[in-house]
Structure 1
Amino acid sequence: MCKPPSHVLDLGPWLLWRRKLRPGKGEGFVQGGPQRSGSGCPFPSVPAVLGVLSSSCRAELLCPPALPSGRCQATRMLLADQGQTWKEDVVTLDTWMKGDLKATCLYGQLPKFTDGAFTLYQSNAILRYLGRKHGLYGKDDQERALLDMANDGVEDLRNKYLVLIYQNYDEGKDKYVKDLPAQLKPFETLLKQNQGGKAFIVGDQISFVDYNLLDLLLIHQTLAPGCLDTFPLLSAYVARLSSRPNLKAFLASPQHTGLPINGNGKQ
């Protein structure tokens, strides 16, 4: 049975996700495109369609085509894998450039997340909030500290990737790919230190960092196919996480496969 939506998020520069639940009826709405059911949960994509998934869960999806997935994917992966549904409102670039919406955002940027009356900005703050809410933030203070450290490492590499994509792609790609093994090695080391790489990045339960790292590794496999060939633990990690039923369904859905990774078409 599809669970009622528990979240609405603003993910990526032109996406707003909001929570909307009809009290007492268990009906939630997801905007984003044709629904795809994985374990009974809809994945928004393109273009507009209304579908009834079950007697207790209706998904309404509306989304212009060709929006970049950007910072959306790690949070989408988390929600999908945890069996959540969400409402995703799309903000077009034209609307955003008018400035009215931007003026209402705390830092003048998206993502924006709403859970009932609670509003949150910043993609990693959103991931951490969802991690705490769904028990995806380690079992003790030491695990949580290691998760924070690992997530900082993910963000360091993601920022280097974004500089390449948006500022130096044509001239810098070869060097970036050449240097990539040194950037990936710490994650291989973390996996090795945790049950010989047979579990997650930290501990024996999936965490918000695993979704963030998986997204980062997948986009690097697009940038540099074979980049994980010399990292057997990372390769097995990507395969293991990608085979989780809800996550596998999401990764095969248009919400993952039908969106460009970056806003400038480079990947």
Structure 2
Amino acid sequence: MRMLLADQGQSWKEEVVSLDAWGQGTLKTSCLFGQLPKFQDGDLTLYQSNLPDSWLYGKGQQEAALVDMVDDGLEDLIRHFGQQFLRNNEEGKAQYLKELPGHLKPFETLLAQKKGGQSFIVGDQISFADYQLLDLLLNHERLFPGSLNDFPLLSAYVACLRARPKLKAFLDSPEHVNRPISARLKI
């Protein structure tokens, strides 16, 4: 969401909730589904991780369906990633790294159907799935240097998106650079 807002030239105010504050329960009971994030824009309040991202869905129903497909594939990989890291052992991490090429291949295949990684994952305009895929790939590059070496289209895609001026400024900012990948997973 932060990448999307920054790249689209939107400003925002972020309120970070500590685990202690969350544990007190007051905020949790005020959230519609009892979980964060919460996004508020004027009178509009949205809850859940992906809802605010849905602003950029592509053109038409076909592109929206493809964006959903990519998003679902990313959610599966993120869930798998979290499960392996929650095991918090080297064996789980090694197994994940061994399986990673199989998980990245579908995204490389989608890019092969486009402009060789010099385009977006779906359609001719950026979608929220692009920001989610970029976030996942950047995190993998941090955690597993070289994990994209066998994926030239994904590597080109990352370079292409990172070069977007507003997105580059955000990605290079201390607010992003110093943010943990996951406070929950302590990485």
Do they superpose with TM above 0.5? yes
Aligned length: 187
Distance in structure 2 (CA, Å) of the matches to 1:100 and 1:80: 30
Report which of the two has the higher share of helix.
2
2:124 corresponds in structure 1 to 204
Do structure 1's residue 103 and structure 2's residue 29 form an aligned pair? yes
Q: After the TM superposition, which parts of structure 1 deviate over 3 Å for at least 4 consecutive aligned residues? A: 264-267
Deviation at residue 250 of structure 1 after TM alignment: 0.4
Percent of residue pairs bearing the same amino acid type: 61
Do structure 1's residue 94 and structure 2's residue 20 form an aligned pair? yes
1:82 corresponds in structure 2 to 8
Do structure 1's residue 140 and structure 2's residue 60 form an aligned pair? yes
Do structure 1's residue 117 and structure 2's residue 37 form an aligned pair? no
Deviation at residue 264 of structure 1 after TM alignment: 5.2
Deviation at residue 198 of structure 1 after TM alignment: 2.5
2:107 corresponds to which of 170, 187, 190: 187
**Contact 1:138–1:203 (Cα < 8 Å) also in 2:** yes
Residue ranges of structure 2 left out of the alignment (5+ in a row) = none
2:94 corresponds in structure 1 to 174
Deviation at residue 108 of structure 1 after TM alignment: 1.1
Deviation at residue 263 of structure 1 after TM alignment: 1.6
Map Cα deviations across residues 77-124 of structure 1 (whole Å, 9 max, x no partner).
Answer: 000000000111222222111111111111111001111111111111
Evaluate the alpha carbon distance shift between residue 265 and residue 156 of structure 1 in structure 2; reply closer, same or farther with a 3 A threshold. Answer: closer
- 1:155-166 to structure 2, matched below 5 A, reads 155-166=75-86
RMSD across aligned C-alpha pairs, in angstroms? Answer: 1.4
Residue ranges of structure 1 left out of the alignment (5+ in a row) = 1-74
- SS where residue 199 of structure 1 aligns? coil
- SS where residue 191 of structure 1 aligns? helix
- Please report the TM-score for the alignment, with normalisation by the length of structure 1: 0.67
Distance in structure 2 (CA, Å) of the matches to 1:119 and 1:265: 27
- SS where residue 73 of structure 2 aligns? helix
Distance in structure 2 (CA, Å) of the matches to 1:150 and 1:265: 24
**Contact 1:165–1:266 (Cα < 8 Å) also in 2:** no
Map Cα deviations across residues 25-49 of structure 1 (whole Å, 9 max, x no partner).
Answer: xxxxxxxxxxxxxxxxxxxxxxxxx
Evaluate the alpha carbon distance shift between residue 265 and residue 197 of structure 1 in structure 2; reply closer, same or farther with a 3 A threshold. Answer: closer
**Contact 1:138–1:144 (Cα < 8 Å) also in 2:** yes
- Matching residue's letter, 2:76: D
Distance in structure 2 (CA, Å) of the matches to 1:220 and 1:90: 24
- SS where residue 195 of structure 1 aligns? coil
Distance in structure 2 (CA, Å) of the matches to 1:170 and 1:141: 43
Distance in structure 2 (CA, Å) of the matches to 1:167 and 1:110: 23
Deviation at residue 244 of structure 1 after TM alignment: 0.6
Report which of the two has the higher share of strand.
1
- SS where residue 40 of structure 2 aligns? strand
